[in-house]
Amino acid sequence: MPERPLHLSVALDGAGWHPAAWRDLPGSGWATSDLFGARYWADLVAEAERGLLDFVTFEDAFALQSSLFDGPDGRGDQVRGRFDAVLLAARVAPLTSRIGLVPTATTTHTEPFHVAIGIQSLDHVSLGRAGWRPQVSGRRTDAAHFGRRQGFPELRPDALTAQSEHVRDLFDEAADAIEVARRLWDSWEDDAEIRDTATGRFVDRDKLHYIDFTGRWFGVKGPSITPRSPQGLPPVVALAHDVVPYRLAALGADVVLITPHDVEQVRSISAQVREAEAETGRAGEPLQVYADLVVFLDDEPGAAAVRRARLDDLDGAPYVSDALVFAGTPGELADLLLEWRAAGVEGYRLRPASLPHDLLGVTRGLAPELRARGAFRAAYEAETLRGHLGLPRPASRYAAGAAR
C-alpha cells in the first residue's frame, strides 16, 4: 500500500528566521520597508499556494523580538516589530484561494472569547482555510504590557523543568482557552441562521447555545457573536518541545509541531506524543505529528552552507535554533524528510531562513523533488484546511444527536 503524501507547510516571520536575513532583502527585489507592507506578505503566501503547501503560519508575540530569553537586548541591527498575526491573515485571505492560514495568537493575557471570534471570522472570510496556533506568554516582559497579572518569574531556557509549576499553569490555562474557543465555535448550530425576510425570522434562537464554561482562569457564558464558520472547528496547530506542551497538544490540538534534531529523536518524541494522547484520554482523530526545521536551500551543493556562514558573519554569531537547521540542496532535504517520515513524522513546517529565497527553495525546489518521488501532491484536492489535513468536518457538539 503506497504511503500517504507528506504534508508541507511554512512558517513566515519577518525577512526569514535568520536574524540577518533582512539585509538580503534589497537583492531579492524587495525593500526593507516592505516588511511592513501588505504586498510583501501577500506575495509570500501566494508563492506558498503556488507550491501547493497545506498552510502557512504567521508568528506573533506580545514583546519585541530579542536575542535574550526574557527581556529586550537593546540591539538595533535586527528586525524588530511585526504585524498582528490574525489581522495579517485576514488581509491576505481574499488574495488566496486554497492554502490554509494559521496565525499565532497567545493564550496568556488574552481573553479566549476575543481569540475565538477572530479565528472564526478569519474562517468565514477565507471560506474555510483558517487555523490557530495557540502560544503561551510566560515572560515577565510580556506581562508588563498588561499589568493585570503579577508574580511572573524570570524564565530561563530550561524553564520547562526548572519552573514547572509556573509552566504547568501556563499550559493548563492554554488548554482551557482552546476548550473555550472550541465550544464557542460550536455554539451556533449550522442551520441557526434562517434569514427569512417574509416571516421576519433571521435566526433560530434555540440553535444558539450557552457554553457555560467555568474554570480556574475563565468564566465564559457564550454564545459566540459569530455564526458557525465553514470548517465548524478550525484546526489547532501547537508547537511543543517537552512533556507539558505535548499534553496540551493531546488535549486540544489537531497538529503538533515537534523539534527533533535526528531520526532517533523523531522516534522518541513521537512516542512521547502518543503517550500524552493515552494519558489524556484523547478521543477521535489522533494528533498529526509534524517536524519543524529551519532551512537554507540552494540548488548548487555547498551554496546554502556558504550563505548561512555569510549571514552568521553579518549577525556576529552562529545562528542557533530550537529546531534542526538544515543547509543543503532540495534533493538532500527530500532525503531527510523521507527518512524522518519512515520514523513517524507525517508532515513538516519549514522555517525559511531567508525570505523569499528559501521559500522559493521549498516551493520550486523541494516540492517538485518530493512530487517526483511520489511523496507530495500534484494538485489541491480540497478547498478547506481541514480537507488538506484529511480531517472530517464535525457537527456542533450542541446539535441534537451530536456525539459528545
CB-CB neighbours of 372 under 10 Å: 11
pTM reported for the whole predicted model: 0.96
Q: How wide is the angle at C-alpha 182 spanned by C-alphas 242 and 116, nearest 5°? A: 95
pLDDT score, position 68: 83
pLDDT at 188: 98
Q: What are the residue ranges spanned by the domains of the chain? A: 14-235+258-324+334-388
CA 229/CA 275 separation, integer angstroms: 32
Q: Walk along the chain (404 residues) and give the pLDDT tens digit of each residue.
A: 457 899 999 999 999 999 999 999 999 999 999 999 999 999 999 999 999 999 999 999 998 999 887 788 889 999 999 999 999 999 999 999 999 999 999 999 999 999 999 999 999 999 999 999 999 998 888 888 887 776 666 666 665 565 578 889 999 999 999 999 999 999 999 999 999 999 999 999 999 999 999 999 999 999 999 999 999 999 999 999 999 999 999 999 999 999 999 999 999 999 999 999 999 999 989 999 999 999 999 999 999 999 999 999 999 999 999 999 999 999 999 999 999 999 999 999 999 999 999 999 999 999 999 999 999 999 999 999 999 999 999 999 999 866 54
**Residue 140 belongs to what H/E stretch?**
helix 140-143
Among 386, 333, 282, 331, which residue's Cα sits nearest to residue 54? Answer: 386
pLDDT of residue 312: 98
The pLDDT value given to residue 174: 97
> What's the pLDDT score for residue 157?
61
Residue 10 gets the label, from left (phi > 0), alpha (psi -120 to 50) or beta, of: beta
Burial (CB < 10 A; 0-12, 13-18, 19+), residue 378, is exposed
Q: Among 203, 47, 235, which Cα is nearest to 126's? A: 235
Report residue 122 as a C-alpha cell. 478569519
Phi-psi region of 374 (alpha: psi -120 to 50; beta: other; left: phi over 0): left
Sign for the CA dihedral angle at 318, 319, 323, 325 comes to negative
CB 14 within 8 A of CB 60: no
**Whole-number Å distance between alpha carbons of 247 and 272:** 9
Task: Report which secondary-structure segment, H or E, holds 202.
Answer: strand 201-203
Cβ-proximal residues to 314 (8 Å cutoff; 6+ apart), any chain: 20, 23
| Candidates 3.20.20.30, 3.40.50.720, 3.40.980.10, 3.30.2080.10; CATH matching 14-235+258-324+334-388 | 3.20.20.30
- Asked if 122 and 89 touch (Cβ cutoff 8 Å), the reply is yes
pLDDT of residue 162: 52
Q: Helix, strand, coil shares of the chain as percentages rounded to 5?
A: 40, 15, 45
**What cell numbers appear for 100 in the block?**
490554509
The set of cell numbers assigned to 399 is: 446539535
Phi-psi region of 232 (alpha: psi -120 to 50; beta: other; left: phi over 0): left
- Give the CA count within 13 Å in the CB-facing half-sphere of 311: 25
